[in-house]
């Protein structure tokens, strides 16, 4: 060991004895586990969507999504409850793939990110997830909008459990919420990334209208004025009577 | 539990069982985060974030090695990210754990004061020194594991511990003098 011997190591300070051991209460520990479990389930649902659309090439920040879900358990509890069974083992795929996000957030040393498929554990976990929201707009055949930046990869057939499928609809809502909260905390890049993901995973999603309105706001927040306005015009043409119209028009107001 | 494991399609450390890891290590993670300087509610959030991040880092988990240093390495980064976002270090209010309630009140008060002082001195240390110090002197993690967790050379890690011990002792002394009347 090459520790400099000229500088002796002082002893462990006695004052540390004043610090008693810290432990969580049993109830606190159990509650916290249920939050962790719920977040793991959200990540798993996101993973499922990634797996459906081709896997590792997507840089999906499920960990961030899961973290925000965990920070706000009400998100899971809010909309009337339905049970879905997901495999949170799969969560490692998305979160592992999202190593890029982890680096940003916690300064982890970089790791190779090419993963074909990863399973941590396949024990089934039962979690509560909100019921799918009712459709707010008819499916739009021309949902691949001018906003779209990257072409989706071919869809890979995946054998799914019905419950996971239900979680898929739910995932659309959760991704949308993820994008919305990202906008609130002014993380426009993450919002755009999430919206991009949404378009790829759910090209004919039930929440396309809302998603496209968020896209306009996200572009504006990212200071991509021209893109924002172009997106706003496309939106107003496509959804002339949208309840999100005023918010989108506000973006165009800055045009004068 | 979970004995009948299916075939894994990967080179995955199949042994990462988040639940049993949580059961075994959540208290240690919580203790680390608390001593690092997060307030109880924040420490809870950070425990959550640590385990979620652990899931995301599952590929770096080596089942043949102790899980604690690996997990604390993650907790450390979560803690640093939180303090950097300025969401902690508000008033040094309540101290997480009060001493043995069986004690007589006077001694309890003295113990509580000493605890507060020590915690405060701890939180004055720079992040890196504080991390090594807490992990080694409070949580008894081997230096080599700490070096790995912090992605730093062993010599640097020792150097941080040395500086931390000196600064901590000095800090306690200063706080005693300054805050004697509080």
| Structural domains in chain A (count) | 1
- Who contacts B172 (Cβ-Cβ below 8 Å, separation ≥6)? A13, A15, B117, B118, B121
| Structural domains in chain B (count) | 2
Residues 76-105 of B with CB under 8 A from A: 77-78, 80-81, 96-97, 99
Q: Give chain A's radius of gyration (CA, Å).
A: 22
Chain A: nearest CA to B118, how far in angstroms? 6
The answer as to whether A245 is a domain residue is no
The CATH number of residue B128's host domain is 1.10.10.10
| Residue with the larger pLDDT of the pair A176 and A146 | A176
The answer as to whether B94 is a domain residue is no
CA trace torsion B53, B55, B58, B60 (10° rounding): 10
- Domain extent, residue A82, equals 34-132+167-179
To test the contact with chain B by mutation, choose from A4, A7, A17, A24 the residue with the greatest count of B C-beta atoms within 10 A, namely A24
**Residues of chain A found within 8 Å of residue B74, distances taken between Cβ atoms:** 106
CA pair distance A115, A31, nearest whole angstrom: 33
The answer as to whether B95 is a domain residue is no
The answer as to whether A228 is a domain residue is no
pLDDT in tens, A227-242: 999 999 999 988 888 8
| Residue with the larger pLDDT of the pair B13 and A28 | A28
The answer as to whether B102 is a domain residue is no
Sign of the C-alpha dihedral, residues A183, A189, A192, A198?
negative
pLDDT in tens, A182-197: 888 888 888 998 898 8
The answer as to whether B134 is a domain residue is yes
Nearest to A63 among B12, B16, B56 (CB): B56
CA pair distance B157, A13, nearest whole angstrom: 17
The answer as to whether B175 is a domain residue is yes
Residue A192's φ and ψ, nearest 5 degrees, are: -65, -40
pLDDT in tens, B86-114: 544 444 444 444 545 566 788 888 888 88
B5 in reach of chain A (CB within 8 A): yes
Position B161 scores a pLDDT of: 96
* DSSP, residue by residue, chain A: ----TTSPPPPPPGGGGGS------HHHHHHHHHHHHHHHHHHHHHHHHHHHTTSTT----HHHHHHHHHH-THHHHTT-EEEEEEEGGGHHHHHHHTHHHHHHHH-PPP-----S---S---EEEEEEEPPPPPSSPPPTT-S-TT--SPPPPPPP----HHHHHHHHHHHHHHHHHHHHHHHTT-HHHHHHHHHHHHHH-TT-TTHHHHHHHHHHHHHHTT-HHHHHHHHHHHHHH-TT-TTHHHHHHHHHTT-
What percent of chain A lies above the pLDDT cut of 70? 47
Chain B: nearest CA to A30, how far in angstroms? 9
The answer as to whether A152 is a domain residue is no
Chain position carrying tokens 């507060």: B116
The answer as to whether B181 is a domain residue is yes
- Domain extent, residue B65, equals 13-89
Please say which residue of B56, B89, B122 terminates a domain: B89
CA pair distance A12, A33, nearest whole angstrom: 34
The CATH number of residue B57's host domain is 1.10.1740.10
Is A92 in Cβ contact with B59 (below 8 Å)? yes
B53 in reach of chain A (CB within 8 A): yes
**Residues of chain A found within 8 Å of residue B31, distances taken between Cβ atoms:** 21-23
Is A1 in Cβ contact with B55 (below 8 Å)? no
Residues B72 and B40 grouped into a single domain: yes
Position B44 scores a pLDDT of: 92
Q: What is the ipTM of this complex?
A: 0.78
Chain A: nearest CA to B78, how far in angstroms? 6
Residues B81 and B119 grouped into a single domain: no
């Amino acid at each position: 060991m090459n520790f400099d011997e000229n500088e002796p190591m002082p002893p462990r300070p006695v004052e540390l004895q004043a610090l008693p051991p810290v432990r969580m209460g049993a109830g606190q520990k159990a509650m916290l586990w249920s939050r962790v479990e719920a977040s793991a389930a959200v990540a798993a649902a996101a993973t499922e969507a990634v797996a459906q659309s081709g896997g590792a090439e997507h840089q999906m920040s499920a960990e961030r999504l899961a973290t925000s879900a965990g920070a706000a358990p009400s998100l899971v509890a809010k909309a009337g409850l339905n049970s879905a069974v997901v495999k949170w083992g799969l969560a490692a795929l998305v979160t592992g793939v999202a190593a890029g996000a982890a680096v940003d957030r916690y300064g982890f040393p970089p790791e190779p990110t090419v993963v074909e498929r990863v399973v941590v554990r396949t024990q089934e976990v039962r979690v509560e997830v909100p019921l799918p929201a009712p459709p707010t707009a008819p499916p739009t055949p021309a949902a691949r909008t001018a906003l779209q930046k990257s072409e989706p990869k071919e869809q890979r057939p995946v054998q799914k459990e019905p419950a996971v499928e239900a979680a898929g609809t739910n995932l659309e809502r959760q991704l949308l919420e993820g994008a919305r909260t990202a906008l609130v905390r002014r993380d426009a890049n993450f919002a755009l990334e999430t919206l991009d993901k949404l378009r790829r995973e759910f090209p004919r999603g039930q929440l396309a209208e809302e998603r496209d309105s968020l896209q306009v706001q996200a572009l504006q927040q990212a200071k991509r004025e021209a893109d924002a306005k172009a997106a706003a015009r496309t939106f107003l043409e496509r959804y002339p009577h949208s309840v999100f119209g005023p918010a989108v028009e506000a973006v165009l107001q800055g045009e004068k | 539990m979970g004995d009948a494991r299916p075939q894994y399609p990967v080179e995955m450390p199949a042994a990462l069982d988040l639940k049993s890891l949580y059961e075994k290590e959540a208290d240690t993670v919580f203790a680390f985060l608390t001593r690092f300087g997060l307030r109880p509610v924040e420490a809870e959030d950070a425990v959550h974030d640590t385990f979620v991040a652990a899931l995301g880092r599952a590929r770096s988990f080596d089942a043949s090695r102790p899980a604690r240093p690996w997990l604390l390495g993650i907790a450390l980064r979560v803690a640093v990210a939180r303090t950097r976002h300025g969401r902690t270090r508000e008033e040094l209010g309540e101290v997480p754990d009060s001493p043995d309630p069986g004690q007589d009140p006077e001694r309890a008060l003295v113990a509580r004061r000493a605890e507060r002082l020590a915690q405060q001195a701890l939180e004055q240390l720079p992040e890196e020194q504080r991390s090594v110090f807490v992990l080694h002197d409070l949580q008894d993690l081997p230096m080599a594991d700490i070096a790995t967790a912090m992605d730093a050379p062993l010599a640097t890690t020792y150097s941080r511990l040395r500086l931390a011990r000196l600064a901590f002792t000095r800090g306690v002394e200063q706080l005693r003098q300054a805050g004697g009347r509080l």
